Amino acid sequence: MQAVTEGQAVLGNKRNPLNAVDLQLPIPLKKEHLLFTIQGSNTVGAQLTPNLAQGFLEVLGASDIHTVNTDTNKKFVVGKYQRADQHTLLKIAIDAHGSSTGFKGLLNGKADIAAASRPIKPKEKVLLNSRYKSFDGPKEIVLAIDGLAIIIHPNNSLNNLTLSQLEKIFTGKITTWKKLNGSSKPIHVKSRDAKSGTYDTFKHLVLRKKKLISNAVRFESNTSLSESVSRDIDAIGFIPLASINDAKALSISDTKSTSNKTSHGILPSELTVATEDYPLSRRLYLYRSSNPKHANIVDAFLTYAESNAGQHHVKQSGFVSQQLYALPSNLQDKNAWWRLNLNIRFQKDTSNLDTKANADVQRLVAFLNNKGNKFSQIRFVGYSNPTNSKRKHSPLSRLRAQNVRWALRNIGVKNRIKTVAGSSVFVADPNSIRKEKNRRVEVWVQ
């Protein structure tokens, strides 16, 4: 893959780094050139992919970059481009009508990249493999992590909800606070409007195929919803992390009971969403066509999206970036271990690293090689899905940690690495479809 190097992928860089990405434009230049088309998710296509496209055109050396909106949810990010004494207009098309439309676009050849707020479905992969005679399907990258906070009035005594309780509140099965905090008052449900990416995320994570309660008050902005909840003692709503403001965020448990001793409610934060431990978090994806018209440019864009410069746009667009940082476990102890903001996760029912984990290993190597980081030791703590076994630590937990160590050793990392098996505390209901979240490896450095 031809990549834009980290040094070149810097916002505000006006020079033309074409020795990194050859546009391979025909000579003489046409009036305009469509570089590639992204189709799919509204959540990804509302702000994130347009922002990434603008940053990418800037890296290519374009000027006067702006977004042109149409009446059909289609956008064009355009920029003026000059080669010698010739001028052209570079264009990136973004068509946001839902994740499924992105995979259909890959199938019919109208999309070079599919944006999705869910993984590709097996049946979609089969169709694409048949179309392009491929056994691997389209190349997948995890672009960002999305997360929602459930908020109430700051004086409400409630602190924790289960996913099951949350679903019942927003579908009208629980209509008063009596079973939650003892009050007999009605619950005032507040929601984003149906066109928002925030609502799309909530529907995917909580409502699924069920309908929102009909008397929910709808808001067109996260700020307005948060302000309304913070003024209403009986209100509950959902918003992105950055919009909590004066409201109170609840911890969320992925269990059937808030009193379950082997699990615990998890508060929403940049760390808990980045590690995907928080129940209301999900991955956002990009999928590359097996046969894009300008493969070198598409590959360079995907590399840019995963770079620190691309992840800056992820954060600016309201999502959680995958750029690594470390948090100390004890500020008073200079020898304390520091937790990194990632969990290594695995392919379903295996100990093989998944797509994001393979990219995270590369990020971890870059993090360790950064001269500003003085960490010399790494500790991988592996976890498995809890079983009925009385053993506190599963052999699979240690095996997963060892697999991550081997991945680093194969790249040439020479830091001292220790692998241990974590206890049986889980972050997802071990009997639910989300149980894969329990199969993870935490990363600590010292």
- pLDDT given for residue 388 in this prediction: 57
For residue 404, the domain's CATH number is 3.30.1330.60
In a 10 Å sphere around its CB, with 0-12 CB exposed, 13-18 middle and 19+ buried, how is residue 366 labelled?
middle
Is residue 380 one of the residues assigned to a domain? yes
Is residue 375 one of the residues assigned to a domain? yes
What is the residue range of 407's domain?
325-445
Among the listed residues 100, 96, 104, the one whose alpha carbon sits nearest the alpha carbon of residue 67:
96
Report how far residue 275's alpha carbon sits from residue 343's, in angstroms, rounded to the nearest whole number. Answer: 5
- The reply to whether 170 and 258 lie within a common domain is yes
Among the listed residues 97, 90, 126, the one whose alpha carbon sits nearest the alpha carbon of residue 111:
97
pLDDT 10s digit of each residue in the chain, 446 long? 333 333 332 333 344 443 356 778 888 889 999 999 999 998 899 899 999 999 999 999 999 999 999 877 789 999 999 888 889 999 999 999 889 999 999 999 999 999 998 899 889 999 998 887 765 668 999 999 999 999 999 999 999 999 999 999 999 999 999 989 888 999 999 999 988 888 988 998 999 899 999 999 999 889 999 999 999 999 999 998 888 999 999 999 987 655 444 457 899 999 999 999 999 999 999 999 988 989 999 999 999 999 999 999 999 998 999 999 999 887 778 788 999 999 999 988 788 899 999 999 999 999 999 888 889 899 999 988 776 555 555 788 888 999 999 999 999 888 899 999 887 667 777 777 677 788 899 999 99
- pLDDT given for residue 275 in this prediction: 95
Number of domains in the chain: 3
- The reply to whether 171 and 53 lie within a common domain is no
Report how far residue 36's alpha carbon sits from residue 194's, in angstroms, rounded to the nearest whole number. Answer: 29
- The reply to whether 173 and 64 lie within a common domain is no
- The reply to whether 367 and 433 lie within a common domain is yes
**Are the C-beta atoms of residues 193 and 220 closer than 8 Å to each other?**
yes
pTM: 0.85
Pairing, β 86-96 against β 32-40: parallel
Is residue 6 one of the residues assigned to a domain? no
- The reply to whether 94 and 172 lie within a common domain is no
- The reply to whether 250 and 293 lie within a common domain is no
Is residue 296 one of the residues assigned to a domain? yes
Q: Which residues of 68-86 are buried (b: 16+ CB within 10 A; e: fewer)?
A: eeeeeebbbbbbebeeeee
Report how far residue 301's alpha carbon sits from residue 36's, in angstroms, rounded to the nearest whole number. Answer: 10
Interval 27-58: pLDDT, tens: 888 999 999 999 999 889 989 999 999 999 99
Q: Can you read off the two tokens belonging to residue 27?
A: 């000579």
Paired with 377 in beta bridges are 416
For residue 77, the domain's CATH number is 3.40.190.10
- The reply to whether 172 and 249 lie within a common domain is yes
**Are the C-beta atoms of residues 241 and 269 closer than 8 Å to each other?**
yes
